[in-house]
Amino acid sequence: MNKKLTIINIVLALLAIFLAYKVYDSIRQPVVFERIKSEREAKVVQNLKDIRNTQVLFKQSYNRYTANFDSLIEYIRSGELPIVNIIPDPNDTTFTKTINDTVGYIKVVDSLFGSRTNFDLKSLRYIPFSNNQEFEIEAGFITRGGMQVPVFEAKAPYEKYLQGLDNQRIRNAAAEQKDIDRYPGIKVGSMTEPSTDGNWENL
């Protein structure tokens, strides 16, 4: 009898331990998911900031954005920006006019990434943690006030940069964003508004 009670007690103890672990794990998993999601999104956001900064300079040079990563990367690699010195116009007695004096040029790559050691230019197009899947990128024009305004958008959906995490949690996160009419992922720019904002800046 005592032997049976001992066995039952051991089984009950193991069951209690198992149930305690399941409760602990059910609490831990969402926390771990959110932590990893935040860590990955920080790297995705950095890439999108780099894309945005490059697009802004590209537009200054060509009065448009580009939807082609090859063009964007080549612009970074070989493009140059004028160094402009703004001085007062000596012939202007009203002291309201200025003269733009180009005193030299700086390479785009040095302007954007000169302080980033070991920066890999080729990585700009790839979504971190996605097994080298590219950011979705678009560019074009919209009409505002009777004028054609250049716009662009670059984005990375949850399912690409959250690869390897719990699929149901990824689907749930995407559904939550869609329910409030937000993009299920990280993006910058807009194809419907003249904006270069990132959606992480509006959280």
**Residue 22: its pLDDT value, please?**
61
Task: Mention every residue, 6+ apart, whose C-beta is less than 8 A from residue 112.
Answer: 50, 53, 54, 57, 76
The single-letter code of the amino acid at 24 is Y
Sign of CA dihedral 12, 16, 21, 23: positive
C-alpha–C-alpha distance, residues 48 and 109, integer Å: 16
Task: Please report, for the chain, the start and end positions of each structural domain, with discontinuous segments joined by +.
Answer: 2-202
Q: What is the full per-residue pLDDT of the chain (203 aa) written as tens digits? A: 566 667 666 666 666 665 655 655 556 678 889 999 999 999 999 999 999 999 999 999 999 999 999 999 999 999 988 787 777 777 767 767 777 767 788 899 988 998 888 888 889 999 999 999 999 999 999 999 999 999 999 999 999 999 999 999 999 999 999 999 999 999 999 999 999 999 998 75
Measured torsion, CA atoms of residues 120, 126, 131, 133, in degrees rounded to the nearest 10? -150
pTM of the complete model: 0.80
- Residue 159 class from Cβ within 10 Å (0-12 exposed, 13-18 middle, 19+ buried)? middle
**Residue 25: its pLDDT value, please?**
55
C-alpha–C-alpha distance, residues 88 and 76, integer Å: 32
What's the maximum distance between 2 C-alpha atoms anywhere in the chain? 112
C-alpha–C-alpha distance, residues 141 and 148, integer Å: 6
**Residue 153: its pLDDT value, please?**
98
Contact 170, 162 (CB under 8 A): yes
